[in-house]
Chains A and B, each alone.
Chain A
Amino acid sequence: MTVGVVTFPGSNCDLDTISALTDLGVESRLLWYRDTDIRGISHIILPGGFSYGDYLRSGALAAHAPIMDSIVEKVSQHDLPVLGICNGFQILCERGMLPGVLRANPHGEFRSSMQAVRVVDPSPVFPGLSPGQTFRFPIAHHEGSYSVMPGELQKLFENHQVFLQYSDEDGNIHAMANPNGSVANIAGVSQGSVVGLMPHPERAMHAYLGSEDGRAFLAAFLGKEGESNAS
């Protein structure tokens, strides 16, 4: 298993992600956005940051970087597991690999805080997760308000594409637990082998950082549930 973490111009969570994977004992390497050869890569993570300075729209320009063509091809041919975190989620939505868009938070604030999320439908690439499971992850974004066109929300739920919802610490879903005005508190969605979420599991790897829930979460993505508590 080798996890590829893509560095776009302006990515700033790529090294945090590598560090988190190393903590889990997983082999990983950085991929440059101009690379097109992703042979030997078993999983892709698109990290957080501000690719291309958020020019035009967050993630819009990175969505068409050369490496994205290779990733799209390998997803359609081999169900390559792809996880987009924060800006990575925005990139996947802009590329059309995930449904919906991420808009500016309607309250106008850059929201940086610890946030609970609850699993709705575990995607096929997160086999270790079960519905109702909760995690505490940091969030840090200004354009994180998940939206879909009218009429499409029900379809998302029916198709089991709603992956995570923002919740309170007890796992209850309500407006007060929604940090950014996302429709139906949606924090993450999936489509086939592609998953995206706004919160940062790679920043929740140690109790001294406020949460180590990222361990179990990333381990589930990598099919290593048994090792999730090793620290």
Chain B
Amino acid sequence: MKIAVEILLKTEVLDPAGQAAAHVLSQMNFPVESVRIGKHIVIDVNAESEAEAIKMGEEMAQRLLANPVMETFFVAVVES
């Protein structure tokens, strides 16, 4: 089963990479208000159920993949 963990900086945390990308997109004439750059991690796991897979993904994010101090995360099943 494949799960995806999406990680973004919390909205109150400065994202210099996102700001730089937003600035360049504006220069390229896109009507951009803001950009936030995160990570999208796809994990192939052995799980009995989708609920179990999501629980595992959340634990992975909590303990390793994300830094809960400054990041939020969202886990979804992408392939059963």
Q: How far is the CA of A34 from the CA of B67 in the complex (A)?
A: 36
Nearest Cβ on chain B to A61's Cβ, whole angstroms: 5
- CB contacts (< 8 Å) of B24 on chain A: these are 52, 61, 64-65
**For chain B residues 43-76, which have a beta carbon within 8 Å of chain A?**
none
Q: How far is the CA of A55 from the CA of B27 in the complex (A)?
A: 16
- CB contacts (< 8 Å) of B21 on chain A: these are 55-56, 61
Number of B residues contacting the other chain (C-beta, 8 Å)?
A: 8
Contact of A64 among B16, B17, B28, B37 (CB under 8 A): B28
Chain A 26-68 against B: per-residue CB contact (8 Å), 1 yes, 0 no? 0000000000000000000000000011011000010011100
Residue of chain A at shortest CB distance from B23: A61
Assess whether B1 is interfacial by the CB under 8 Å rule.
no
Number of A residues contacting the other chain (C-beta, 8 Å)?
A: 8
* Residue of B16, B17, B28 ringed by the most chain A CB atoms within 10 A: B17
Residue of chain A at shortest CB distance from B28: A64
Nearest Cβ on chain A to B40's Cβ, whole angstroms: 14
Assess whether B20 is interfacial by the CB under 8 Å rule.
yes
Q: How far is the CA of A53 from the CA of B28 in the complex (A)?
A: 19
Contact of A52 among B20, B28, B37 (CB under 8 A): B20
Nearest Cβ on chain B to A91's Cβ, whole angstroms: 12
Q: How far is the CA of A163 from the CA of B24 in the complex (A)?
A: 31
- CB contacts (< 8 Å) of B28 on chain A: these are 64
- CB contacts (< 8 Å) of B20 on chain A: these are 52-53, 55-56, 61
